[in-house]
Chains A and B, each alone.
Chain A
Amino acid sequence: MSREHLGERLSALIDGELGPAEHESALIHLAKCEPCRFEADMMRRLKRRLNGLCEPEPDMDFLGRLTSLSRDAGAAGPPPSDPPIAGFGSGPPLGSSPLLGGLPDGRPSSVPADGGSAPLRPEHVSRPDRRRLGGNRLAHLFPPLPGGRYAVAGLAVATTLIGGAFAAGGEAEEPPVVRPRLSDYAVEHAVTSRHMPVVDARPTATDPPHGPNETTR
């Protein structure tokens, strides 16, 4: 093994994919073989450089044209399946950007095109788009308040609290209709106070007859 160059195993060595025994023998070979050692050094540098590359930022030109597309689409309201409007197509094609892929009809896609182009991150374009569509349209309805967010949060908390209290304050069941037996109450009060009651203690027409299941003292 020491006479043969590492070949494809060199890449596996750099990636740390060799087993312990093969790793040890590869290191022994590298110590004795100048060409393999040079090749390994070059491969490590290349991988470090590749790893050091950042994710590419979207082209500012593309973002600007995409934003204008969204604004026009929100105002005019064409369906998403409609072809792109003429103003957008008058600029350079999306595919001209070296970092972005695109569909053949020119519409942006989050799916990377062939060739390993970096994927388009949808949040980078959708967030400012939403703000512009909703916020700009409703901004003139509300005066600028310094504590607006807190007011909205307080309103939400109060609404939740009142709603919860309303739900909790409901009666589990409708209370029954009762006819308080005032004559019985008068007798009970008279017994405990030992005073003759003013309210007539005799049963009246409004007092229902005593049922068999009731208990009166």
Chain B
Amino acid sequence: MSTGGHSSAHSAPVGLLILAVLCVLLVTTAVRPDASAVAADGPDDGMPVLRRAATAESEVAYSAVRQMTGPEGRTLRVRVINSPGDGVSLSPVGAEETTLMVRSSPALESLDDRLLRMLQDTYAVAEAGTAELAGRRTRVVEAARADGTVAGRFWVDTDTDLLLGRTVYEADGEPAFSVRLTGLLLGETSWPEDEEGDVPWGDDLDGTERARLREEGWPLQEHLAWNLRLVDARSTEHAGHRVVHAIYSDGLSQVSVFTQRGKLDTEHSPALRNGYAGTGTGGSSVTTQHDTIFGGDTGQYQSMWQADGFVFTVLADAPAGLASSAVTALPEPGGAGFWARVQRGLARLGIL
């Protein structure tokens, strides 16, 4: 009997110790769930190189073949013609009739500046020596996460400052997608005079207009994740209804969220086509579900669903993990049930 009392006398401090250790573990894991989920600090001495590369796009005329490679190795080859002051022409090799002409505009120049700032804010951008790419000498710039892993790598031509290559990496170090310029030809190229070209939607939404839209119930978030910040928002009208295009980026990847009031028709019902809804020829399927994204064979993802009286469409040039975190940060599908309506009402009353 005395042995039992002795044992219980010892077990109490041991139990308290275990409890204290568990509390410490709980607090430390709650405060910092992921060591890489913070902005990386650094001298960012690679930023001037990238800024010169952005400037070179508006100063150097060239033509080349842009080779885009996705995580599964599928490659898309696009002929690129860059005409400073006019814009850039993109046409798939072998299907030149589907040319996309992007006209130069102040909106795109401003967007480039914000993307570079976002890159500098999120990652430690540093020069990493030189390398040869497609027969040309390049300066290598790396964007590193807070844990030291490389999130992106750039190759900038030492002669022309043109960006010849770019690779974005997943958190595990695997390439998510990469872009290479091959067959570079410098000099003036023919730009079709009668081609008007495309520019971003004209209605630029500043902070005041975004706040007004939020008051009207539009889900227009400033952040989708710690490293996905709103860098641009604009809108247009389709059939008299407003459509908002919000661009989120970490500086390396770009996620477009298109939002419009309404609901999908029965053609997009999950009961059809095994839960998928077609998007037209040439594209992967779009789902009315929320947590699944499609595409990815060239590093581009799509997803579509409806929630809270809005239809969301996400198009992303991003690693799968980043695209998924962007999609799941948006409202979940549904909104028609009793509790969904109660939750919506609590939110409108300011309780949630």
Q: Which A positions have Cβ atoms within 8 angstroms of B?
A: 161-162, 164-171, 175-202, 204-208, 211, 213-217
Contacts and interface: CB of A to CB of B under 8 A. Distances in A.
B2 interface: no
Q: Can you list the 9 inter-chain pairs with the closest CB atoms, starting with the nearest?
A: A169-B345, A200-B282, A204-B280, A165-B345, A178-B262, A199-B283, A168-B345, A169-B344, A169-B341
A216 B338 CA distance: 38
A166 B342 contact: yes
Contacts, number: 189
Interface of B: 66, 68, 76, 78, 88, 90-92, 98, 100, 102, 108, 111, 198-202, 232, 236-241, 243, 245, 247, 254, 256, 258, 260-265, 267, 278-284, 286, 295, 298, 300, 302, 304, 309-311, 313, 315, 317, 338, 340-349, 351
Given A170-B341, A179-B264, A191-B102, 5 more contacts: A165-B342, A189-B256, A198-B282, A206-B278, A217-B202
Given A184-B238, A194-B102, A198-B284, A175 B262 contact: yes
Contact of A193 (B267, B309, B317): B317
B76 A175 contact: no
A184 B236 CA distance: 11
Given A177-B262, A182-B313, A196-B92, A188 B200 contact: yes
How would you classify the secondary structure of chain A's contact residues: helix, strand, loop or mixed? Answer: loop
Contacts of A168: 344-346, 348-349
Contacts of A188: 200-201, 245, 256, 258
A191 B198 contact: yes
B216 to A, nearest CB: 11
A213 B201 CA distance: 16
B158 to A, nearest CB: 23
Given A176-B262, A191-B102, A215-B237, A182 B279 contact: yes
Contacts of A204: 279-281
10 contacts: A165-B342, A166-B345, A175-B309, A177-B262, A178-B311, A180-B243, A182-B313, A191-B102, A198-B302, A205-B280
Contact of B108 (A170, A183, A192): A192
A6 to B, nearest CB: 74
A216 B199 contact: no
A55 to B, nearest CB: 50
